[in-house]
Amino acid sequence: MNAVEYNEKVMKGHFRKIYPVIAQQIVERTGITSGHGIDLGGGPGMLGISLAKLTGLNVTVFDLMPECVALALENSIEHGVQERVSARQGKAELLPFADNSIDLVASRGSIFFWEDQQQGLSEVYRVLRPGGWAYIGGGFGSIELLLEVQAQKENDPKWDRERKERFAKNPPGHFETILENLGIEGVVERGDAGMWIIFKKPNPLV
């Protein structure tokens, strides 16, 4: 499936309902509603766009594929948030953002494909401002939405098998070890609808 098909069939098709729900969960958990956010590995940008629609954040969709960067810009226009959503191409392990400059880094589904997950999370921590939050992992927002997606994908058993294999290869303890190695205080939460790595960069002035 190429980027255009993925955008139409998955992000704006089967997965369409999950992004606003996940965005709401991120805002409720972090309290971040303004500043600069990154949708890391965001593909065509639907999580970042959902965050921009829900908050006053300026969001950068950051993805490895140039085709997805272009689609993210198109989708931002379609959803009327083009003035606050930009897109850049690059790797999670080498973020082109200054130290202590980002209020929120959100990412759904990307970390399972990073070449070096520890380096990627180190970069996330580096760019977060003191008091900034990371919300990274994979999920569907609720078990009801997961079951709905599974029903829509029932003719594609490979999809569910590969999804379960990714989680099996990346259990919570794996990411807890990475956080410990990096000296990052955070949690790895696994539920029926997904798994999320959540941490806040300490603010020494508070």
Ranges of each domain in the chain: 3-200
User: What is the average pLDDT score of the chain?
Assistant: 92
Task: State pLDDT tens for residues 114-131.
Answer: 999 999 999 999 999 999
Question: Which amino acid is located at 43 in the chain?
Answer: G
Closest CA to 143 of 21, 7, 13, 47: 21
State residue 206's pLDDT score.
Answer: 66
Tell me the pairing of strands 102-108 and 85-89. Answer: unpaired
pLDDT at 205 over 90: no
pLDDT band at 102 (very low <50, low <70, confident <90, very high): very high
Nearby residues of 145 by Cβ (< 8 Å), 6 or more positions away: 17, 18, 21, 193
Is 39:48 a contact under the CB 8 Å cutoff?
A: yes
CA distance from start to end of the chain: 47
State residue 14's pLDDT score.
Answer: 72
Global confidence as pTM: 0.93
Q: Cα Rg for the chain, rounded, in angstroms? A: 16
> Which superfamily is assigned to 3-200 in CATH?
Vaccinia Virus protein VP39 (3.40.50.150)
Is 19:139 a contact under the CB 8 Å cutoff?
A: no
Question: Which amino acid is located at 92 in the chain?
Answer: A
Angle in degrees, 0-180, between the axes of helices 46-54 and 18-30, rounded to the nearest 10: 60
State residue 192's pLDDT score.
Answer: 84
State residue 1's pLDDT score.
Answer: 60
Q: How far apart are CA 186 and CA 204, in angstroms?
A: 17
- If you average pLDDT over residues 57-72, what whole number do you get? 96
Torsion on CA atoms 86, 89, 90, 96, rounded to nearest 10 = -40
Task: State pLDDT tens for residues 137-189.
Answer: 999 999 998 888 888 877 877 878 888 899 889 999 999 999 999 999 999 99
Q: What is the DSSP letter of 88?
A: E
Count of all residues that appear for the chain in the document? 206
Q: Quick count: other Cβ atoms within 10 Å of Cβ 66? A: 11
